[in-house]
Amino acid sequence: MKTLLIVYHTVTGGSRQMAQAAAAGAGAEPLVRLCLETAAESGPQALLDADGYLFVCPENLAAVSGLMKDFFDRSYYAVLDRIQGRPYGSLICAGSDGMNAARQIERIATGWRLHAIAPPLIVCTHAQTPEQILSPKTIGPVDLSRCEELGATLAAGLGLGIF
C-alpha cells in the first residue's frame, strides 16, 4: 500500500478547505493510505514514510506562509537525497496570482528531486484589502472540485504504480 501525505497550513481557512477537498478525492483510492497533516505537526519522518506529497498553503507577502516555510526548513536537509523521484503536487490559496509561492515550492521540490505530476493549482480569492485578506475564506465549488481532482489523480497514480 502506498501513502500520500498532504501537508497544509491555513490562516483564514481557504487552504484547509483545499487540502480537505484534495483529501476527499484521494480517499477514494483503496490502494493508498492518506495522511493529512498540518505543517506545524508534520516533519521529516512523515515525508520519509510517504510515497507522494501534496503541499497546500496560502501565499503571504508573495511567499509560502510562515508555518509552511518552517515545515520545509525543518524537513529539507533531514530528507535530502532520501525522497528523490517521488511525485508531488501543490495547491496555493492566493489573493492575487500566487506564482511566487508556487515557485518557492517548486524550487524546494527540485532540490529534493521530486517529480511534479501537474502544474501548481492556484486558487485566487482576489482579497486585496487588509479586511479581505484577514477575513475567513470560502472556496467555491468549482475550485474545490479542481482540488479534489488533483488529490484523486495523485492517489490514483500512486495506487496504480504510475508515479
Domain at 54, CATH number: 3.40.50.360
Q: Which residues contact 113 (CB under 8 A, 6 or more apart)?
A: 83, 84, 85
Number of domains within the chain: 1
The 10s digit of each residue's pLDDT in 96-124 is 999 999 999 999 999 999 999 999 999 99
Average pLDDT, the chain: 97
* CA pair distance 156, 52, nearest whole angstrom: 11
Instruction: State whether residue 52 is helix, strand or coil.
Output: strand
**Does residue 43 contact residue 75 with C-beta atoms inside 8 Å?**
yes
Stated as kind and residue range, the H or E segment containing 14 is helix 14-26
Give the CA count within 13 Å in the CB-facing half-sphere of 101: 32
The region, left, alpha or beta by phi > 0 then psi within -120 to 50, assigned to residue 155 is alpha
Q: Give residue 101's pLDDT.
A: 98
Task: Look up the domain containing 125 and give its range.
Answer: 2-160
**In 3D, which of 10, 50, 9 has the Cα closest to residue 32?**
50
Query: What dihedral angle (degrees, nearest 10) is formed by the CA atoms of 108, 60, 120, 7?
Result: 70
The 10s digit of each residue's pLDDT in 37-76 is 999 999 999 999 999 999 999 999 999 999 999 999 999 9
